Structure 1
Amino acid sequence: MFSVGNDNCLRLYDLELYVEIGETRLPSDINGSCSSGSFVSPSHILVGTTDGKLVLFEVKTLQVVHVMGGHSDIVSSIAPHPGSSDGSIKPGALALTCSNKDNTIRLWDLTKGRCSYVTKVAPAEGRTSGGGPSTIKFSPDGSNYTYVHSFTHVTTKTTLEGNILLDIDLESLPLRINDFCYVNAGFVSLGLQNGGIALMKLSEEGEEEDGVVKASMVIEGSESGKSSAARIKCMETLVGGSGYLVCSCTSEGVVSVWDMEGAANALMDDDEDDEDEDEDEDEDEEDEKPAGSDDDDSDVSSENASDDLCVLLQRAILGSSGSNRITSITCWSEEEGISYDLEDQMIAQEEEEEEEEEEEEEEEDIPVEKPKKRPSTSSAPNKGKKKGKTFAQPESEPSVMEDAEAVARARKLIEKSKKIKRKSDKKAAKARKNN
């Protein structure tokens, strides 16, 4: 874990030993202080500054790799690309940054240390200035990204083509968005100033836009969108469990874990109901079905949707109180049984090696029969006379006795060497993946 602050220091911590293991400062030629930071890979940290600079550090040595300039003002948020499933984009190779002052989003090539693309975000309707993009995040698979601008406007676009999957402004409600996170890749959860939490369904890529956004207020906030004493300050996605877990923090210092599977299923059921209604209408026109049958189906589906529309509180703790309020949170979680391409290769390799070991053990357990003596053409015994590719065993040579202890020791040494080789192969594979 690492931390950055207004003192321009980057501090690195060991979470197993609970100790600080390293400290460094921003380069002296940078005038601003630290404003944001993120691990872009296990081996590198990217830090944004108040004067628009980006500094890439190597974790192992805490040495500066690149200093990049592009933003004319504060770097508000950093979003490292998680890496593509096909391996075309490696983790830590790309990152998005945004500034709520210069109203731009920039894509960075971290391997070369330069800006690859920049886009200007126009203020929301009714605004002439201010309200630039304040928070930006990639989806878990890196296929799209979401950003909040103008305090109430949230937009999701595909990474490669820039197609819009979500674009909605909550100013009319009015609801200010403090933070957001992805939920199971197909949804975005919004943490609001009034203490509420909303769940938005992303449209599928290539789907025709009809102007309708599937959404649900899963946690009700204060009335009329006013600021709440329990306003949501930050949110993070958790993996594992149902796959719909979200962690939220309030301005009162309460850290909560929510399961949004029911709410997500309800929004997906709405899509299925819409498709069923369209099919029923077509069938009504063709087959002249009795009136009222569609209404009955829609009533049942809406009842089922209301039953599923729920959010389960998994855990809530008081993280801080008084003047020591929580302003940011980072969560570490993992899903048991999940496998990525690299892990699949390792598992397959281990299974093959285990099968080979079992076959070798079976072969060793099979007793070896001594070759039969061939009849001698002379009275003299056969003393190693070559016949084809085999040698006859001399009659005077005693039978070979197997030393059970020596064989056992040899097997242990073989197994140990194979385990060491597997570990080294894993480390090498992880190193290649990180690079």
Structure 2
Amino acid sequence: MKNSLTRTFQKYLRSLNRWFSNTPERALLEAYQAAQRIKNIENEHFDNKKISLQSVKYTENVMSYWQVYLNKNLTIIKIRLAEFQLSRGIVNISNSVLLEKLKVIDEVVEKYAIKDEVINHTPLVSTYQPLNINDNEIKKQLKSSDINDTQVNTPIQKTRPPKSFIGRRINKIQADFAPQTEEEFVRNYRLSKGRTIIALRFLIVLILVPLLTQSLSKEFIVSPILERVRGDNVTRVFLNSDMEKEALHELHSFQEGLRFEYLLNQAPSLSSEIVQEKIKSKAVEISEEFYRKTNSNISNIFADLISLFSFGIVIAMSKREIVILKSFMDTIVSGLSDSAKAFLIILFTDIFVGFHSPDGWEVLLAGFAEHLGLPASRNVIFFFIATFPVILNTIFKYWIFRYLSRLSPSALATLKEMDE
């Protein structure tokens, strides 16, 4: 049994080593295929030009279809190139064909530099030139008008708008009537829409990737390996003393239930051998249940580590998406009213560092300990509650004092009024 398990494990390691050794070529091949798909679309539908409205005049729906197809393949290229660079630093390969594929990929990536503009949130440069107005000309026009010929009282003269303000207004009107204004508005709208889509998509990825990784790795990788390693050895049923106490309490309740049914004459009299057989059967059932629970808790530890590693990879490969998400969240927060900001701040502080927060922290820590199969030590939990919320409250007060007073003084004033 042990030799068979060793051979199976060695076979699994060899297959895993082959898969990892082929990772650079596989990742580069997928990026190359995505680049070839983009070039095929250019040749077939855009006269061998860039996929854009400037190349061929399509309707909005048709262009939207090609844009989604383009973004999908550019995303594949980005992910696979990052995978190629990461694995290339570990696995040494040398092939002249790789250089040809990289050349094709670089041509496609450089051609669609508009992706960097969407990601980097670069400001748009206006293509029109605003009308330059000299203050002297404005003064001459005002002197020649009928308004200046009229005698005006002193209070009205004090409220007269400055000449520079009038110049800016005229420049703004001239810019609004420029022929390129509509085109720039549409371009700004598309870039803003693209940033929003990228931010929401990245937020969904941050949530789904760790959850799916944890569930799938536990179900198909960690649990099968753990079951083979432990086998049918049931000597180590309980992972900690709390699980043993829970099992003994359940068995004791079963014994008391048999006795209770007998005393109420709802069950026939049983001999001691039959009673012992039932208790033994129940003990075996409980041991199998807690054996599976122990396997599940141990699997959770390794699956959580794999999930955390996958989350770190997503963060490391998505620096630009993080910038877009931060800008997206800043836009949402800045769009809230002062009362809404103060309400959210009070809600957050009351949940995590408020008067009722110790009960919530105790439930979270006990559930986390049970998830990992650790004993829920009340001393550790109470020590955590006595220190961490205090540190969190100090950091939050410093943030209010240091940054909120500068970013939104009115929100700070509203927060103080609501808190009082």
Which one has the bigger strand percentage?
1
TM-score by length of 2: 0.21
Which one has the bigger helix percentage?
2
TM-score by length of 1: 0.20
Report which structure shows greater RCO (CA 8 Å, sep ≥6): 2
Larger radius of gyration: 2
